[in-house]
């Protein structure tokens, strides 16, 4: 309804009591009826009543004055309420109470993405028992992106922007029809039509100009919040509650400081909030997120993802008891769960920790959200609207953190965050040292091109300054620095401006890091053991954050390695098993049986990603089901390809640690160890070929092992599962000196000579050993002594001797004439012909009170080794063996009179696989698993 001049006159006459005098009233009347275009300034020059100023000023600002002496029809919607307040001066002014009575809720776009979800949000608001509730809402899911797309299309002069506007309209119309009815629906659709027409006019202007100013863009993109707030407030009111919606452009005042950042004006915003509440007293306020105004009342935004910031500002203005950020995740994770599947929800974070993690890309909070609430110690809760049972994460001032048992949690690191797609810029030269203003010139040049410096690192020598910038900005930065320092570069005072592309930043965050020694050591140790090279390092004096730069392709492995190392997740190891024969198959069965215990009790996750034999291999992306590996190998196995196998097992970038377990006796497989270790693949094996092969290759392999953090374990190469290598190393590392190592090192030959007694012939005992599975398929492989010689060489080299296998004299038990027999069966058939020789040896030993034993000897003093059949007295430890037991005697400077003896089963698939398994667990311990 349009107001006529007499309506205006009557309304103004009712104000006469609050205007200074009749002359003032007549002047005001004249201005309204005759020169409304200059009305506001002159009006405020004579009107001194604050409430009158504010309410009529609102009318002027929102454009209710249109032409000579008349008001826009939109004024009819509000004039009655304005007049009612102003005419009744006897009403007491409504003041805004602040404090714990208020709770703040913020709902993101996914939370209000459909009519059903808006109803869910309304239910949460209704069920909150707080006396006062302020709800900040984002635009419906994808709407803000749609609005930005409108601007892009319009300034690109793409006529499809018109259809895109209609799509925005239809999305909200359908949602409103589903949610609202009656007057609420009619009012909303009228406002929606009005807004869409204004948008089309604005976009038409952008289309013609081919350009959108920042103010135009902010005006357009802020509409989604206006519509979602109005719809939600109507739904809440339907339940009978007192709820009003707030256009926060009337309340939040911000000062733009750059193209992507604003500073809130808390003083002005607080005054405007009080004024708004005096006009709209209610218990529930649904406020628009993201949008605000400048001090000049120009619409603006809090920039991308600014609704969180809106909620925090409102929480500070109201001194609220809590700000709850409702989103689609259960809380703040210890790391990005898309990169670390074992990432956990953090129950609490300090403001500083949350600040650090949000800056470094933890996609939960706007980086500046924490600042307003810190001032008043207002906690922020991160909750999942789709999982109300989850307690979420509380961000607050730090307190003593306890677990469910009431015990103090001592983990100094709370979480990890990453930033991808960054580049390092390194400015270096001797001319920088001690020259004031160099850093200022460097970063002044960076500022001039508008680049964002993410991290800075400089050594105390001042020889170089290294900093990280987004990769998309690095070319402009490099060009600016080359131009700024052209003279210094030409003169040699600066040696280079180097760019290192394809980097990622990994930040380790935790407030307790500041008081905990060794955190940095643990961090860099974990990265080193995962074979991750660190490009740059930065740590502030607050010690809340240690930042490292790594290669982009290493980022996920680095993240998983450090996350695992600080016991925030399991120590996960990717495994490839080579040789699924008797020993390899037994190992796989042991892994299957122990997997659950290792996960539950020791936090170790062993995932077999590949199994390969000489002909077929089985590969998996997630881990082979070890209860079915044999049938899977037959059903889905493919042609064996060692290169493809290695690439598959090591190619999983989500898991930092890879180990290949070689259960073969193949020299070709052993020849791959060096390349595997170079690539950062750990190697575990019972295969003796590498350590007993050519000396130069062995020394090269061991040198590589010592230079890197890649592990090479081979305990099972000597004595199956017995701790022989580890015992020898322990003696040497503690300063003992080895004099001699002597031992029965073959389980097969131990069995043969333990049973070569009485009337049994040598050939009969060999046949029994073969039948019992103690020998190789061809017993000559055992009887030749070559296997024992390899073990002797391994022990000799571990003791520091530089011997070749050919340096070891070996007494073979295979008759010379049978060494070239056609087959193992033929050898067994012909062996009885030579029983007489062995029977004679046994008889001579018995006559002297001795027994025969086949031994390997390392004489460190003489620097030699040998393999031979020896006699021992019946009370000697070597004479006390049974079955296939092995025994090794270490004679050292400490154990000279009574050698140190290691004895136990030295053959059999179970004990050998157990020895390999023990090495796997030792590797897990070295990589961070609890011991």
Catalytic site positions: 791
Instruction: With beta carbons less than 8 A apart as the criterion, state whether 60 and 31 touch.
Output: no
Residue 198 tokens read as: 């204004």
**CA 889 to CA 895: how far, in whole Å?**
10
Sign, Cα dihedral of 490, 491, 497, 498: positive
Determine which helix (DSSP H) or strand (DSSP E) holds 299, and give its type and residue range: strand 299-301
* 635: CB partners within 8 A, 6+ apart: none
Residue 274 tokens read as: 């009080």
Instruction: With beta carbons less than 8 A apart as the criterion, state whether 734 and 740 touch.
Output: no
Instruction: Name the CA radius of gyration of the chain, rounded.
Output: 40
Residue 678 tokens read as: 């170079």
**CA 220 to CA 168: how far, in whole Å?**
12
Helix (H, G, I), strand (E, B) or coil at 223: helix
* 513: CB partners within 8 A, 6+ apart: 412, 413, 519, 543, 544, 546
* 129: CB partners within 8 A, 6+ apart: none
In the block, tokens 């989103």 appear at: 327
Instruction: With beta carbons less than 8 A apart as the criterion, state whether 533 and 566 touch.
Output: no
**CA 324 to CA 846: how far, in whole Å?**
89
Q: DSSP strand E in 669-798: where?
A: 682-684, 712-713, 738-744
**CA 319 to CA 634: how far, in whole Å?**
68
Determine which helix (DSSP H) or strand (DSSP E) holds 255, and give its type and residue range: strand 254-258
Reference 176, options 189, 163, 167, 165; nearest CA is 189
**CA 572 to CA 358: how far, in whole Å?**
27
In the block, tokens 């030749």 appear at: 784
Strand order in the sheet with 604-612: 638-639, 616-619, 604-612, 571-578, 657-662, 682-684, 712-713
**CA 188 to CA 74: how far, in whole Å?**
14
Instruction: With beta carbons less than 8 A apart as the criterion, state whether 867 and 709 touch.
Output: no
Q: Give, as one character, the DSSP assignment of residue 513.
A: G
Give DSSP secondary structure letters for 853-916: EEEEEEETTTTEEEEEEEEEETTSGGGG--TTEEEEEEEESSSSSS-EEEEEE--SHHHHHHHH
* β partners of residue 287: 136, 246
* 218: CB partners within 8 A, 6+ apart: 291, 299, 300, 301
Helix (H, G, I), strand (E, B) or coil at 623: coil
Three-class DSSP labels, 78-146: CHHHHHHHHHCCCCCCCCCCCCCCEEEEEECCCCCCCHHHHHHHHHHHHHCCCCEEEEEECCCCCHHHH
Sign, Cα dihedral of 106, 110, 112, 116: negative
Three-class DSSP labels, 368-410: CCHHHHHCCCCCEEEEECCCCCCCCEEEECCCCCECCCCCECC
Q: Are strands 322-327 and 102-107 parallel, antiparallel or unpaired?
A: parallel
**CA 469 to CA 442: how far, in whole Å?**
13
**CA 514 to CA 839: how far, in whole Å?**
76
Instruction: With beta carbons less than 8 A apart as the criterion, state whether 133 and 316 touch.
Output: no
Strand order in the sheet with 464-470: 455-458, 464-470, 415-428, 496-509, 545-551, 534-539
Residue 542 tokens read as: 């607050």
């Amino acid at each position: 309804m349009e107001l006529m001049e007499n309506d205006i006159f009557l309304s103004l006459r009712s104000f006469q009591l609050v205007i200074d005098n009749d002359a003032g009233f007549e002047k005001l009347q004249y201005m309204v009826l005759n020169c409304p275009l200059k009305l506001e300034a002159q009006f405020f020059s004579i009107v001194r009543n604050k409430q009158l100023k504010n309410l009529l000023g609102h009318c002027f600002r929102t454009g209710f004055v249109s032409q000579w002496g008349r008001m826009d029809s939109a004024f009819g919607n509000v004039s009655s309420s304005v007049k009612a307040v102003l005419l009744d001066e006897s009403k007491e002014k409504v003041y805004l109470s602040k404090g714990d009575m208020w709770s703040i809720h913020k709902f993101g776009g996914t939370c209000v993405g459909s009519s059903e979800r808006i109803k869910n949000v309304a239910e949460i608001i209704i069920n909150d028992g707080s006396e006062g509730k302020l709800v900040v809402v984002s635009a419906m899911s994808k709407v803000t992106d749609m609005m930005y797309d409108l601007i892009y299309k319009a300034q690109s002069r793409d006529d499809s922007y018109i259809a895109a506007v209609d799509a925005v309209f239809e999305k909200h119309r359908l949602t409103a029809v589903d949610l609202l009815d009656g007057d609420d629906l009619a009012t909303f659709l009228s406002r929606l039509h009005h807004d869409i027409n204004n948008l089309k006019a604005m976009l038409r202007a952008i289309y013609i100009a081919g350009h959108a100013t920042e103010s135009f863009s902010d005006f357009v993109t802020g509409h989604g919040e206006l519509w979602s707030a109005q719809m939600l407030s109507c739904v809440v009111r339907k339940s009978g509650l007192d709820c009003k919606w707030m256009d926060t452009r009337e309340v939040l005042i911000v000062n733009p400081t750059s193209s992507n950042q604003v500073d809130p004006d808390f003083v002005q915003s607080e005054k405007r909030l009080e004024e708004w509440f005096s006009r709209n007293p209610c218990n529930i306020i649904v406020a628009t997120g993201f949008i605000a105004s400048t001090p000049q009342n120009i619409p603006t935004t809090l920039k991308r993802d600014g609704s969180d910031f809106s909620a925090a500002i409102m929480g500070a203005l109201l001194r609220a008891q809590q700000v709850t950020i409702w989103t689609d995740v259960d809380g703040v994770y210890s790391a990005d769960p898309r990169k670390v599947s074992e990432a956990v929800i953090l129950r609490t974070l300090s403001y500083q920790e949350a600040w650090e993690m949000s800056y470094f890309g933890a996609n939960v909070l706007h980086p500046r959200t924490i600042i307003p609430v810190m001032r008043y110690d207002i906690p922020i809760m991160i909750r999942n609207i789709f999982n109300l049972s989850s307690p979420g994460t509380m961000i607050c001032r730090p307190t003593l953190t306890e677990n469910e048992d009431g015990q103090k949690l001592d983990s100094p690191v709370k979480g990890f965050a990453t930033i991808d797609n960054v580049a390092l810029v390194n400015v270096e030269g001797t001319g920088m040292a001690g020259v004031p203003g160099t850093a200022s010139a460097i970063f002044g040049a960076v500022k001039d091109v508008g680049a964002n410096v993410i991290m800075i690192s400089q050594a105390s020598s001042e020889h170089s300054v290294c900093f990280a910038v987004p990769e998309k900005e690095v070319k402009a930065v490099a060009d600016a620095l080359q131009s700024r320092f052209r003279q210094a570069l030409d003169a040699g005072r600066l040696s280079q401006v180097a760019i290192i592309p394809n980097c990622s930043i990994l930040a380790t965050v935790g407030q307790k890091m500041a008081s905990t020694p060794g955190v940095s050591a643990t961090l860099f140790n974990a990265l080193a053991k995962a074979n991750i090279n660190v490009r740059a390092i930065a740590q502030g004096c607050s010690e809340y954050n240690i930042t490292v730069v790594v290669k982009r392709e290493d980022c996920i492995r680095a993240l998983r390695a450090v996350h695992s190392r600080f016991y925030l997740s399991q120590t996960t190891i990717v495994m490839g098993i080579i040789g699924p024969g008797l020993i390899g198959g037994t190992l796989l069965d042991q892994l299957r049986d122990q997997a659950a215990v290792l996960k539950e009790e020791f936090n170790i996750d062993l995932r077999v990603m590949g199994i390969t034999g000489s002909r077929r291999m089985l590969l998996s992306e997630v881990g082979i089901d070890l209860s079915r590996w044999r049938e899977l190998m037959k059903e889905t196995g493919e042609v064996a390809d060692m290169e493809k196998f290695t690439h598959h097992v090591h190619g999983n970038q989500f898991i930092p640690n890879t180990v290949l377990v070689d259960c073969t006796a193949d020299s070709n497989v052993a020849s791959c160890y060096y390349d595997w270790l170079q690539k950062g693949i750990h190697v575990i094996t019972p295969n003796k070929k590498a350590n007993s092969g050519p000396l130069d290759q062995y020394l090269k392999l061991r040198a590589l092992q010592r230079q890197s953090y890649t592990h090479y374990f081979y305990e099972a190469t000597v004595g199956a599962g017995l701790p022989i290598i580890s015992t020898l190393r322990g003696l040497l590392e503690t300063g003992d000196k080895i004099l001699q190592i002597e031992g029965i090192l073959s389980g097969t030959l131990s069995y043969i000579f333990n049973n070569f007694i009485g009337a049994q012939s040598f050939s009969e005992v060999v046949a029994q050993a073969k039948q019992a599975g103690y020998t190789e398929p061809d017993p000559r492989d055992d009887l030749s002594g070559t296997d024992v010689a390899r073990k002797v060489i391994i022990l000799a080299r571990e003791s520091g001797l530089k011997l070749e296998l050919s340096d070891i004299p070996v007494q073979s038990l295979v008759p010379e004439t049978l060494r070239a027999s056609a087959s193992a069966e033929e050898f067994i058939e012909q062996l009885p012909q030579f029983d007489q020789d062995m029977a004679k040896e046994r008889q001579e030993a018995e006559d002297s009170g001795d027994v025969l034993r086949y031994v390997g000897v390392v004489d460190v003093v003489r620097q030699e080794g040998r393999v031979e059949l020896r006699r021992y007295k019946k009370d000697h430890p070597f004479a006390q063996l049974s079955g296939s037991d092995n025994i090794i005697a270490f004679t050292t400077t400490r154990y000279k009179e009574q050698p140190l003896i290691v004895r136990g089963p030295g053959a059999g698939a179970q004990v050998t696989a157990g020895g390999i398994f023990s090495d796997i667990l030792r590797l897990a311990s070295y990589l961070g698993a609890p011991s």
